[in-house]
Amino acid sequence: MNPSCNLFIVGPTGAGKTSIGRRLADHYGLSFIDIDQEIERVCGVPVSTVFEIEGEAGFRQRESALLEESSRRSGVVMATGAGAVLDPANRRLLAERGYVLWLQATLEQQLERLAQDRQRPLLAGADRAERLTAMAERRTSLYGEIADLAIPGAHETVQAASARSILLIDQHWQR
């Protein structure tokens, strides 16, 4: 059992990390940090622009730096980017500095939730299902490697998913 006072959320694109993370932070009285939003705040431009200018490698460097800085804080709920787990150093920081919650989502759930989203650079192109499947093949085992608790996705509202997550977290997370 990980007794950390931080709750770090990992999972695939469209799993609800930001939406559920905000509700968890409110429920537990903790600060909320979304790493992608922090990148946008620091850079002053959308993540898509960072990708255009610096490519994925530049984005990942910024993501790692902010994750390292943000994970040092105490009493936070942090939503990571879906690909943050690709870097072994990020995985180590997440596992060492927080209780890691893995929000899961099926391909169908992701496609449904992201149907209108045109802001995510890694989903640009014609075949989103193929891209999401390729990301899952590369990332799923990495989420599992560091997760203290996995929350299966379900077809439900954010409010219901948050309530279900809180029930599961309360059964497993000792702060």
Is the Cα dihedral 156, 162, 168, 171 positive or negative? negative
User: Is 59 in contact with 50 (CB distance < 8 Å)?
Assistant: yes
Structure tokens at 8: 């770090």
Is 44 within any annotated ligand binding site? no
Is 120 within any annotated ligand binding site? yes
Is 11 within any annotated ligand binding site? no
Is 60 within any annotated ligand binding site? yes
Question: Comparing C-alpha atoms, which of 50, 103, 105, 112 is closest to residue 80?
Answer: 103
Is 80 within any annotated ligand binding site? no
Is 18 within any annotated ligand binding site? yes
Question: Comparing C-alpha atoms, which of 48, 37, 113 is closest to residue 79?
Answer: 37
CA triplet 57, 43, 118: central angle to 5 degrees?
70
Is 15 within any annotated ligand binding site? yes
SS3 10: strand
- Distance between CA 59 and CA 55 in Å, rounded? 6
Q: Which residues are annotated as a binding site?
A: 14-19, 36, 60, 120, 139
Q: Which residues are annotated as a binding site for Mg(2+)?
A: 18
Q: Which residues are annotated as a binding site for substrate?
A: 36, 60, 139
Q: Which residues are annotated as a binding site for ATP?
A: 14-19, 120
